[in-house]
Structure formats: structure tokens, C-alpha cells
Amino acid sequence: MESLQRKAQELLAAGTVKLVIGYGEGTGVRRRPIFVRTGDQAGSLVLDPACTQNLATYLTKAEVRALGRTALVATPSTLRSILQLAAERQVREENLLALVPLAGTIKELTTFADIEAMVATLPDEIARADQEMLTQLGAMSVVERRAFWEKELGRCVKCYACRAACPMCYCERCTMDNNRPQWVPVASHALGNLEYHVVRAMHLAGRCVRCGTCGAACPHGIPIHLLTFASEGSVRRQFGQPGGASSRPTYALATFKPDDKEDFIR
């Protein structure tokens, strides 16, 4: 923690960055995102296992972006988000650097290539509880699985906390907000909820970095992250492309290859 605070102070004092986004103490045991802009604010930075929210979400928020070059305290998922955002041309290399806590020190990553190299060395696993749930869901019949999601999504109120917390949901105007035509019903009834979450899962196929921040953001405890984990897993299996592995734009679902193994596409 001290090494992070020191690093933040150095970067701000040298003018290398204007802003350090990290975690600070929140209500009770909670941790919250904090925006450190001066050396004396750096003492509020906290680093512990409760710091899990994916802070890459802020890289595309206009108010935050306007503050200048940013250092981001990064978990493995945050690093993957940066790469995915880079691949989708939403962040510029010269505007950010990642601060990665590693064995008691803080590693500073300044290029996408550095981040790619680091990500390649990190274990790419989801939490065991999530894996177990995905296995259980996969073993269900379509009818059972539909019943599971209808029950869970019945609690959804369409507050869009999942969308707002997701680093990959950066669209200024989401499909959900289009009303000419109204693609998806606005109302939070059974169909409106189901369509929203199915569309979101589809839009994150091949792009989800499996941080689970959407599920953690849901006030009603709906495990919606399992939907995007599953769609990401599908693209990973079929195209060999995990979300957030590369900063180069090779989005599996928008790429055509003449030597595709499927013949229907040729």
C-alpha cells in the first residue's frame, strides 16, 4: 500500500500523470474508486483483496478523461479491459499507464505491448463459484435454464447498473436507449428484462474480460455476469480468442477470413 502511495506521489509530482484512479476506503468494509490529483491525496489509496471493482470503466467517462493523463490501479481484469478498449480504439496509449501491484511492489506499465506481455503471464481463470454455476447451468435442459433466468431476471428493475459498471459498455447511446425504432421494450417486465440481458450478453461475446463487475454492481444480486462469461466462453472456444488478450483489433465476430474452417461462410 505504501509503495502504491509513493508511486502515485512520484507520478503526480513529476507531472507524468494528472490523475491516479485507485481504491479508497468506503462505507464500512467497502472500497470505492478514488481520484487522486495531488500528492497529499495519495495517502488515501488503499490496496487489499477488497479492491476488486474494474476501474477501467472510468477511462471512457468524459469527466474523468478531461482530467488528463491517467494512471490506473489495475487488477488482471483491468489490464484486459485496457487491451480490449485499445483494440476497439477507445483509449490511447499516450493517455494512460497501468499500476500493477506485484509482490509488494508496483509495476508501471506504459505501453499496450507491456500490458499484453503481462496479461500473457497471468492466470486467466474465473472464480470457482462462478465456474460451478456455469457448469450447473450448462448441464440444465433449455427449459430448466430458461426457468432459472426468468426467476433471476424477475428481480431486474432495469437500473442499468450492470451496463454502467461494465468497462466494455462505453457506448454513448446504447441500443437500449434508442427509441426510433424501439428495439427492446423499455419496461422492466419479463420480456423487457430478458431482451435487455440477452442483447447485452451478445454484445459482450468475445469482448467480456470476465471481471464480474456487472454482477457485483447489481443491487438485486442477479448473477448477470454469468451470461457474459458464457458468451465470451463460446467465442473463446470456437474462435480461440479470449476477451482482452490483445490490443490489436481482431474482433472474432466482425472478421472474415477466406480460410475459415466453416464452409457456409465462404
Partner 1 sequence: MVATMVDRLTLSDSAVDALVAALIRSGRRVLGPQLVRSQGQDRIDIAPLASFADLARDGQAVASAKGAVFPKVERLLHYRYAGKSIELADVEPASPPTVLFGVRPCEARAFAALQAVLNWDSEDKFFSHRLANTTVVAISCTEADASCFCTSVGSRPDDGQGSDILLCRLAHGGYLAKVATSRGQALVELGQGVFQALAAEPELAPAAALAPAFDAKTLPQKLAAHFDHPLWVEQSLRCLGCGACAFVCPTCACFSIEDEADSRQGQRLRTWDSCGLRLFTLHASGHNPRDRQSQRWRQRVYHKFAYYPDRFQTLGCVGCGKCSRACPVDMNLKQHLAEAARTLP
Inter-residue contact 20 to 71 (CB < 8 Å):
yes
Contact between 228 and partner 1 by CB under 8 A: the answer reads no
DSSP 7-51: HHHHHHHTTS-SEEEEEEE-STT-EEEEEE-SGGGGGG-B-STT-
- Assess contact for 151 and 108: CB atoms under 8 A: no
Interaction between residue 30 and partner 1 (CB under 8 A): yes
What one-character DSSP code corresponds to residue 222? -
Q: How many CB atoms lie under 10 A from the CB of residue 243?
A: 30
Choose one: 2-10, 21-29, 103-111, 235-243; the region binding partner 1 (CB under 8 A).
Answer: 21-29
Compare residues 36 and 106 and give the one whose CB is closer to partner 1: 36
157 lies in the binding site for partner 1 (CB under 8 A) = yes
- The whole-angstrom separation of Cα 80 and Cα 78 is 5
- Nearer residue to partner 1 within complex by CB, 40 or 263: 40
- Minimum CB distance to partner 1 smaller for 122 or for 186: 186
- The grid coordinates listed for 134 are 456455469
**Using CB under 8 A as the criterion, what x/- string covers residues 125-154 for binding partner 1?**
----x---x---------------------
* Strands 70-73 vs 96-102: parallel, antiparallel or unpaired: parallel
| Binding track, positions 86-105, relative to partner 1; x by CB under 8 A | --------------------
Please report whether residue 210 would count as binding partner 1 according to CB under 8 A: no
Cell of 55: 476501474
The stretch among 41-49, 187-195, 200-208, 245-253 that binds partner 1 (CB under 8 A) is 187-195
Give contact residues for partner 1 (rule: CB under 8 A): 26-28, 30-35, 53, 57-58, 61-64, 129, 133, 155, 157-161, 163-165, 177, 185-189, 192, 213, 216-217, 219-221, 223
